[in-house]
């Protein structure tokens, strides 16, 4: 309680490097306090992409605010976090809601989340944290350039993309394009292409049926993607900027007309379409190209979710849970989509946006939810739940850089990456067991 006898609900959010990114959430916090005079929501932040070590230190201290924003790669770490007083640092949100239909008058939205997001953040059928900012990878196409080359449809699979790149790059049709396609060397895309082909990164059903113990970064599915990527590079179709995780450089290459195709996050759809319009080109979105030789399973998500601290007083816990419902009710989830460009995370917000004509005006925002909705719900498509996932991403990035820049053999190099990732996971699991034994 503060001096005015209000119950304080503290929330730690990840602040993205976009101007005013968290302003809508600060407004929601003020609105919630006005509607619930007995409560005050206080927001603090940590750096999103560059603050992983800072975030891990926060978890390791065993003391957190009532609500914590957790990046998807750290989901297992949050599940394993131990409170300073012993026991789990977080409690599953669905368990805390305990079947209630409303909390402090705020309607509960747990059953309204889009299925892919609910599956990712659930364990044993229980929703552990609330999906907040959800994204997926997309294919962006310069339709102005494609039509000049006689291409009227965006390719749907690897073979079609490769053929389209060849056509654009042939003769006068290239219009100055130096390569066919670009994307950042990032671990997230490896996850996408394992998932699409039904491949698992780790054992125990991708960590969904038990703690992940064994890593495989050289699976048949991943090597299919890697060797195709390597061939595109050798043939001059894939643009390697020379910088790992070069999201900005590949964005610029696409807008500047150096490539007709780009793989990037769905969050960038609005920025890419707007930048294209300014550059005099029509940018359209489509689903990530797939391996047409195998059945499609689904694409993974990115983003973050909101976790509820364990051991809160009943007043603080109910305030935190009520704020979550308010933050993600249909109206507010729709507003968050419009400002952040993450996908509408609830069915209610999607219906509201559709009724407003938002998707008719901005069809590029429909591609991501449709892609995620096409998932077959398998463990592969849901995505890996594993400790040190961010570290595995780093191993994948370094291995692919060696393949592209040094001509390393993919099978051998990714077998080495598997050894490194296995060591990371073994160390993580050992340290986790020690931490729990000590508490």
pLDDT given for residue 294 in this prediction: 97
Q: Residue 305: which residues within 8 A CB-CB, separation 6 or more?
A: 69, 70, 72, 75, 121, 129, 130, 131, 132
pLDDT score at 287: 98
Q: Identify whether 20 is part of a domain.
A: yes
Shared domain for 179 and 288, answered yes or no, is: yes
- Is there a domain that residue 29 lies in? yes
127 bridge partner residues: 122
Range of the domain at 345: 7-135+301-373
Do 197 and 311 belong together in one domain? no
| Residue spans of beta strands (DSSP E) within 143-268 | 181-183, 238-239, 261-265
Give the residue from 373, 404, 423 where a domain finishes.
Answer: 373
Q: What is the pLDDT along the chain (439 residues), one digit of tens a residue?
A: 445 689 999 999 988 878 899 999 999 999 999 999 999 999 999 887 667 888 899 999 999 999 999 999 999 999 999 999 999 999 999 999 999 999 999 999 999 999 999 999 999 999 999 999 999 999 999 999 999 999 999 999 999 999 999 999 986 655 789 999 999 999 999 999 999 999 999 999 999 999 999 999 999 999 999 999 999 999 999 999 999 999 999 999 999 999 999 999 999 999 999 999 999 999 999 999 999 999 999 999 999 999 999 999 999 999 999 999 999 999 999 999 999 999 999 999 999 999 999 999 999 999 999 999 999 999 999 999 999 999 999 999 999 999 999 999 999 999 999 999 999 999 999 999 998 888 7
- Provide the angle, in degrees to the nearest 10, between the axes of the packed helices 330-340 and 347-356: 70
Q: Which of residues 373, 403, 424 is at a domain's end?
A: 373
Per residue in 293-306, pLDDT tens?
A: 999 999 999 999 99
Q: Would 271 be classed as within a structural domain?
A: yes
Residue 379 covered by a domain: no
pLDDT at 1: 44
Q: Do 257 and 364 reside in the same domain of the chain?
A: no
380 in a structural domain: no
Q: Provide the CATH number for the domain around residue 412.
A: 3.40.190.10
- What six digits make up the tokens of 274? 């707007």
Residues 228 and 275 in one domain: yes
- If one counts every other C-beta atom within 10 angstroms of the C-beta of residue 412, the result is 12
Domain final residue, candidates 329, 346, 373: 373
Residues 266 and 166 in one domain: yes
Do 329 and 287 sit in the same domain of this protein? no
Query: What pLDDT score does 2 carry?
Result: 45
- Confidence at residue 186, expressed as pLDDT on a 0 to 100 scale: 97
What pLDDT score was predicted for residue 174? 59
Residue 419 lies in a domain: yes
Separation of alpha carbons 176 and 191, rounded Å? 32
- Same-domain check for residues 28 and 92: yes
Tally of structural domains, the chain: 2
Q: How far apart are CA 53 and CA 47, in angstroms?
A: 10
Do 196 and 122 have their domain in common? no
pLDDT at 52: 80
Please report the DSSP string for 303-347 in residue order. EEEEEEETT--HHHHHHHHHHHHHHTSHHHHHHHHHHH-PPP-BH
User: Do the domain assignments include residue 381?
Assistant: no
Same-domain status, 254 and 233: yes
- What is the per-residue DSSP string for 150-178? T--S---BHHHHHHHHHHHHSGGGGTT--
Q: Are residues 287 and 334 in the same domain?
A: no
Locate 300 and state its tokens: 């993974």
Q: Are residues 31 and 101 in the same domain?
A: yes
Tell whether 314 and 352 lie within a shared domain: yes
The verdict on residue 42 lying in a domain is yes
Give the CA distances from residue 73 to residues 188, 232, 384, 390, in Å, rounded to whole numbers and listed in that order.
9, 28, 9, 6
């Amino acid at each position: 309680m503060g001096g005015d006898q209000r119950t304080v609900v503290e929330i730690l959010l990840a602040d993205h490097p976009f101007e005013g990114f968290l302003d809508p959430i600060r407004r929601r916090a003020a609105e919630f306090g006005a509607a619930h005079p007995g409560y005050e929501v206080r927001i603090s932040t940590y750096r999103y992409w560059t603050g992983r070590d800072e975030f891990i230190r926060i978890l390791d201290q065993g003391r957190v605010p009532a609500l914590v924003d957790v990046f998807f790669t750290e989901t297992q770490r949050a599940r394993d976090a131990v409170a300073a007083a012993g026991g789990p640092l977080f409690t599953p949100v669905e368990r805390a809601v305990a079947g209630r239909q409303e909390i402090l008058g705020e309607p509960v939205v747990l059953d309204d989340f889009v299925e892919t997001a609910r599956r990712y953040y659930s364990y044993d059928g229980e929703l552990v944290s609330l999906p907040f900012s959800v994204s997926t990878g997309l294919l962006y196409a310069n339709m102005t350039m494609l039509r000049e080359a006689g291409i009227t449809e965006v390719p749907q699979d690897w073979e079609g993309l490769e053929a389209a790149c060849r056509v654009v790059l042939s003769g006068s049709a290239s219009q100055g394009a130096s390569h066919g396609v670009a994307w950042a060397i990032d671990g997230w895309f490896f996850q996408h292409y394992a998932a699409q082909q039904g491949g698992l990164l780790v054992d125990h059903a991708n960590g969904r049926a038990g703690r992940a113990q064994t890593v495989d970064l050289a699976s048949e599915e991943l090597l299919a993607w890697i060797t195709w990527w390597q061939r595109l590079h050798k043939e001059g179709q894939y643009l390697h900027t020379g910088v790992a995780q070069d999201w900005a450089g590949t964005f610029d290459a696409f807008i500047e007309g150096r490539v007709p195709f780009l793989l990037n996050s769905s969050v960038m759809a609005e920025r890419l379409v707007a930048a294209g319009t300014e550059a005099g080109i029509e940018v359209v979105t489509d689903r990530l190209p797939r391996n047409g030789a195998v059945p499609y399973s689904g694409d993974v998500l990115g983003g973050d979710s909101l976790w509820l601290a364990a051991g809160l007083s009943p007043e603080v816990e109910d305030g935190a849970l009520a704020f979550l419902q308010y933050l993600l009710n249909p109206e507010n989830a729709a507003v968050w989509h419009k400002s952040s460009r993450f996908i509408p995370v609830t069915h209610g917000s999607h219906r509201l946006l559709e009724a407003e004509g938002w998707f008719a005006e901005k069809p590029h925002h429909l591609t991501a939810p449709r892609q995620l909705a096409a998932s077959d719900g398998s463990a592969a498509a849901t995505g890996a739940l594993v400790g040190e996932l961010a570290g595995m991403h780093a191993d994948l990035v370094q291995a692919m850089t060696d393949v592209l820049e040094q001509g390393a053999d993919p099978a051998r190099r990714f077998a080495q990456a598997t050894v490194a990732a296995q060591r990371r996971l073994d160390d993580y699991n050992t340290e986790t067991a020690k931490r729990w034994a000590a508490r």
